[in-house]
Amino acid sequence: MTAFEELKEYLFSLTIIDTHEHLPSSEEVRDRDTDVLKEYLAHYFNRDLISAGLPEEDYLKIIEEKMPIGEKWKMVEPYWEASRHTGYARVLDIAARDLYGIDGIGGETIEELNEKFLESLKPGHFKKVLKERCSIETSLLCVETLEEKYDPLEERSIHCDRDLYTPVFIINTYVHPGGWPDIRRVERESGVRITSFNAWLDATEASIDYAVQEGSCILKNSLAYVRSLNYETVTRREAEEAFNVVFNTKHIPDWHQQPAWPAKPFQDYMFHFILDIANRNNLIMQIHTGIQEGSGNLISNSNPEYLDKLILKYPDVVFDLFHIGYPYQNIVTVLAKNFPNVYIDMCWAHIVSPNASVLSLLEWFDTVPVNKISAFGGDYLFIDGVYGHQFLARENVARALSMKVEDGLFDIHRAKEIGKMLFYDNPKRIFRL
Ligand SMILES: [Zn+2]
């Protein structure tokens, strides 16, 4: 047995922690009016297909219209073949193979795959995939808004299946509210009437307090999709002025064009305000850095080098940097090396680029303490993707570790110990699970 084979066998036997998911909050609420292409092309691989030339209109037909699965396949086939070797594509082939016994997704197999996929819509599939097939102890789940946690009839409770998930509270709306609909939502979520900028600060604090009370010490900022990670130090007055530009439009009727969002000084101030709360309560802040999902965005907005100021200023916040910052992984490496409160999170990374993930691991074994890396977060909207992703993650980590064993940096026993730290011990400790 080679070192790679031995490490692969060992890593595939481990129970692991999943640091990041967007799955339905419970199996009951999953979309059942679906087919295998609608589900598998909900995100990620659809972007490779569009990049390869699939027209957007054809993509929308696949997602929105009912038609025989063979017809849908014909629309995507040339682009699928062109993208077949990307990490996103490999995940789908692995899931089809191991969950449904289908050898390669293609024109010959798509009908059978779809039939088997439709059978998996029966209750029990989530537990089977996450627990039995992936051996995931818990998955950190993004609860998109606090509102989801509120049952209007019952007392408030964080709404997700706690047998499968641990909730993470997304703070985006509090930093970057999209005009009045979001302001009203914050009122409902926090129970605080927004009458001023001061009230907005009170509402923010109330919502975070509630999330913490309900067992979520993990917050998440994914605003690098819409703005830069450069959160500057601004005065309260500048922030309040920016807030009032939107706040003073309350009289504008719904049918009239509504204001967008408060300008950057407000956003900057609010993220500092939230980090200050997090710093006082020793909370964890997961931050999206690097590549944005979707077709086309400003990649420079996701550059993590701007985070150094925040990391210095709030030493009692645990900063968990997502997606290895790809393509800025070297910057993430230096941040994790130099700051005790920065950790590297490989969520999404193994499928964005299996190769960059292996190379980054090789780099980190030379530069970063091994207790600072979490090896896996599925980051999927649909359940079968998690299976394919954890498969690639275990394989990539085995590959990188085995290369260092062959180089003589450490022996196979130490390699196994490091593998278990990356997949289990580190996330368990970092996220206090
Ligand atoms: Zn995500």
184 CA distance to ligand 1 centroid (A)? 25
Residue 248: pLDDT band (50, 70, 90) is: confident
What pLDDT is stored for residue 157 in this prediction? 44
Say whether pLDDT at 259 is over 80: no
The secondary element (H helix, E strand) that includes residue 374 is: strand 373-374
381 CA distance to ligand 1 centroid (A)? 9
pLDDT-above-90 percentage for the chain: 87
Other CB atoms within a 10 A radius of the CB of residue 331 amount to 19
214 CA distance to ligand 1 centroid (A)? 21
Does the pTM exceed 0.85? yes
Say whether pLDDT at 343 is over 70: yes
285 CA distance to ligand 1 centroid (A)? 14
44 CA distance to ligand 1 centroid (A)? 11
241 CA distance to ligand 1 centroid (A)? 32
317 CA distance to ligand 1 centroid (A)? 20
- Contact between residue 411 and residue 405 where contact means Cβ atoms under 8 Å apart: yes
Residue 217: closest CA among 139, 142, 283, 166: 283
Mean pLDDT is lowest, of 29-33, 133-137, 284-288, for 29-33
Residue 324: closest CA among 20, 68, 10: 20
351 CA distance to ligand 1 centroid (A)? 13
Return the DSSP state at 425.
I
Residue 16, beta-bridge partner list = 136
Sign of CA dihedral 345, 279, 141, 129: positive
379 CA distance to ligand 1 centroid (A)? 5
311 CA distance to ligand 1 centroid (A)? 21
88 CA distance to ligand 1 centroid (A)? 15
- Give 104: exposed, middle or buried? Use CB within 10 Å, 0-12, 13-18, 19+: exposed
383 CA distance to ligand 1 centroid (A)? 14
What are the structure tokens assigned to 62, written together?
A: 């696949």
Residue 156: pLDDT band (50, 70, 90) is: very low
347 CA distance to ligand 1 centroid (A)? 8
163 CA distance to ligand 1 centroid (A)? 20
412 CA distance to ligand 1 centroid (A)? 33
Residue 145: pLDDT band (50, 70, 90) is: low
What are the structure tokens assigned to 411, written together?
A: 């022996």
pLDDT digits (tens, 9 = 90+) for 172-203: 999 999 888 889 889 988 899 999 999 999 99
245 CA distance to ligand 1 centroid (A)? 31
220 CA distance to ligand 1 centroid (A)? 10
Other CB atoms within a 10 A radius of the CB of residue 122 amount to 9
234 CA distance to ligand 1 centroid (A)? 29
* Size (the chain), residues: 433
228 CA distance to ligand 1 centroid (A)? 17
21 CA distance to ligand 1 centroid (A)? 6
204 CA distance to ligand 1 centroid (A)? 22
What pLDDT is stored for residue 160 in this prediction? 86
240 CA distance to ligand 1 centroid (A)? 30
